[in-house]
């Protein structure tokens, strides 16, 4: 049976779970929602034990909808550790839903199961990864260690809040497909380095 999500219980029902949470954002007056709903219920039943299934009536969750940019329905979001991992908008066939879920469920489970490293360890690990990435791609990491630390702390803050290391200098819209372009290193950084000598955040420089 699906958990019913409201603004009041959202944090309690979504955060701190030992399994990913699949949330169906719908409305009773939405015809595509009525088509997708039974499909999600069937799929969720088959994945019982691997995920938690929840439903959220858009009319009952204005604050949550605003927070995550849910402005179209049906919208389906898979949460791991209280943050969105993946999702889609609109009714989709059962086989497409299953393929999508299988693809991202492992990632979500990993986020739930693996404890986060200490913040300082994460900063150092990411700094080294970005330094290696810069060298391989013909540019450099910002020579200021303090600047790099601030930028990476911003990336980690976005990861904690949204589930992805979104560029801290760009707005997170809530549109998962569009926001994916802002996962560092973002799709814009090469052109920005070529044009301005650095990416928007100044993490990478010529």
- With a CB cutoff of 8 Å and minimum separation 6, the contacts of 147 are 202
Burial class (CB in 10 A: 0-12, 13-18, 19+), 58: buried
Residue from 33, 184, 199, 201 carrying the catalytic annotation: 33
What's the distance, Cα to Cα, between the start and end of the chain in Å? Answer: 55
33 part of the active site: yes
- Give the phi and the psi of residue 89 in degrees, each rounded to 5: -120, 135
Residue from 30, 167, 184, 201 carrying the catalytic annotation: 30
How far apart, in whole angstroms, are the C-alpha atoms of residue 32 and residue 129? Answer: 43
Residue pair 31/73 in contact by the 8 Å Cβ criterion: no
201 part of the active site: no
Torsion of CA 77, 80, 81, 83, to 10 degrees: -40
How far apart, in whole angstroms, are the C-alpha atoms of residue 52 and residue 2? Answer: 8
Q: Would you please indicate which residues are annotated as catalytic (active-site) residues? A: 30, 33
């Amino acid at each position: 049976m699906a958990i019913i999500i409201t603004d009041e219980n959202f944090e309690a029902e979504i955060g701190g779970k030992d399994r990913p949470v699949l949330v169906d954002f719908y409305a009773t007056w939405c015809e595509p929602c009525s088509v997708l709903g039974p499909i999600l219920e069937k799929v969720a039943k088959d994945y019982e034990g691997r995920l938690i299934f929840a439903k959220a009536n858009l009319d009952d969750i204005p604050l949550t909808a605003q927070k995550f940019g849910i402005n179209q329905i049906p919208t389906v979001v898979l949460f791991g550790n209280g943050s969105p991992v993946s999702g889609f908008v609109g009714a989709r066939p059962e086989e497409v839903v299953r393929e999508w879920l299988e693809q991202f469920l492992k990632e979500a489970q990993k986020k739930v199961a693996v404890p986060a490293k200490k913040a300082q360890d994460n900063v150092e690990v990411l700094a080294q990864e970005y330094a290696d990435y810069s060298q391989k791609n013909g540019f450099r990491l910002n020579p200021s260690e303090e600047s790099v630390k601030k930028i990476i702390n911003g990336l980690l803050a976005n990861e904690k809040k949204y589930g992805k290391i979104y560029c801290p200098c760009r707005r997170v819209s809530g549109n998962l497909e569009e926001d994916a372009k802002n996962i560092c290193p973002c799709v814009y950084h090469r052109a920005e380095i070529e044009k301005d000598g650095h990416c928007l955040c100044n993490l990478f420089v010529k």
